[in-house]
Amino acid sequence: MHDNSETGYNIAERCYAVYGLSIKNNGSNNLNFKLNKLHVRDGDYIFNTTNLDTTDFSGRSKLDVLSDLEKENIIGNVTLSPGQTINGSVVFQVNSLYNESFLLMYNETSITSTSIGKSIEALRTAERYNYSVAFAIPPYRNIDVDSFEPNLEVYPYIFPNWVNRSIFEFFDKVDSEDVLRSTPNDKHLSIIVYALKVIPERNITILPVKPRFIVADDTGEELINTSEIEKISVLRNEAYKMNLSNVTFVRTSFGRFGHLGIGIYCYNNQDVIMDDYQNIILVRRSNIGMHAP
């Protein structure tokens, strides 16, 4: 997040790591789970649980990753009886936006999972992918012209048609520089949200039945349910129902808000489904970029 206040410039970045956990008491006695015993270790750094603060971004409801998180159960202190299971999320404020050396700990016991390694690989694949071919559109929209390069002469009227890490880093850089160039009489508030969610090891069914397009897992949860067929690309020849096992689902949300005198708003959501070999099967995007004159 980038902003500047009346007392001067205040450029701040907040990074969060969110883990979805399933905790089961396999013992014969009650289990007292304490949230303050759960932490993330990154070398010599220890990060304790916190709350995800998105109150300063008014468009968070339009970002699928944040909207999903608001609907999930946030785990706190809980007593589990023998055989009882609780599912939910825990949040840590960390130093890095992308760090694969994180180690989740409960007291001095590490919590490991083969899914974590696959999730990191899936994130890397999704963030490096060039979506121009899949979506048949260049990454940038300069006012009303699509282009493979951003036109800084029309800044801030530059919007992303789709987002990967390089696109996010471009907007992060130019908006930060713009905040620093602004004056106390012409303050340029700028907020950027970049969020990614990974759901590994799911068995899914893809139903391309017009006018809707539905992707559901074997529990019945709908990962995608949209009528915006033109914004979906299936990177296989099949145009009929598909049943796929052990896939990974990556959801990316990007939000940009700033220049209150102009009114720059941008919301982008993308879904990527890839197989066990990191081959991308399906991509979907929905985005809103607009400004008020």
Reported as a single tens digit per residue, the pLDDT across 230-262 is: 577 877 655 566 788 999 999 999 998 876 567
What is the per-residue pLDDT for 21?
87
Exposed/middle/buried for residue 234 (C-beta within 10 Å: 0-12, 13-18, 19+): middle
70 and 180 both lie in a single domain: no
- Quick check: bond before 211 cis, omega within 30? yes
What is the per-residue pLDDT for 51?
85
Q: 127 in a domain, yes or no?
A: no
Q: How many domains, in total, are found in the chain?
A: 2
184 and 246 both lie in a single domain: yes
59 and 171 both lie in a single domain: no
23-37, 120-134, 222-236: range with lowest mean pLDDT: 222-236
Q: Which domain holds residue 137?
A: 132-291
CATH code for position 41: 2.60.40
What pTM, to 2 d.p., does this model score?
0.86
Residue 257: count of CB within 10 angstroms of its CB: 22
Q: 126 in a domain, yes or no?
A: no
Pick 10 or 54 by higher pLDDT: 54
DSSP state, 148?
A: S
Token pair listed for 18: 């969110």
92 and 137 both lie in a single domain: no
State how far the Cα of 111 lies from the Cα of 246, in Å rounded to an integer.
22
Token pair listed for 119: 């999730």
What is the per-residue pLDDT for 238?
56
Percent of the chain with pLDDT over 70: 86
Mean pLDDT, residues 132-160 taken together: 93
Mean pLDDT of all residues in the chain?
A: 84
What is the per-residue pLDDT for 120?
84
Nearest partner of 229 among 124, 151, 135, 149, judged by Cα = 135
What is the per-residue pLDDT for 9?
55
Report the first-to-last Cα separation within the chain, whole angstroms. Answer: 24
Pick 205 or 289 by higher pLDDT: 205
Nearest partner of 120 among 223, 254, 19, judged by Cα = 19
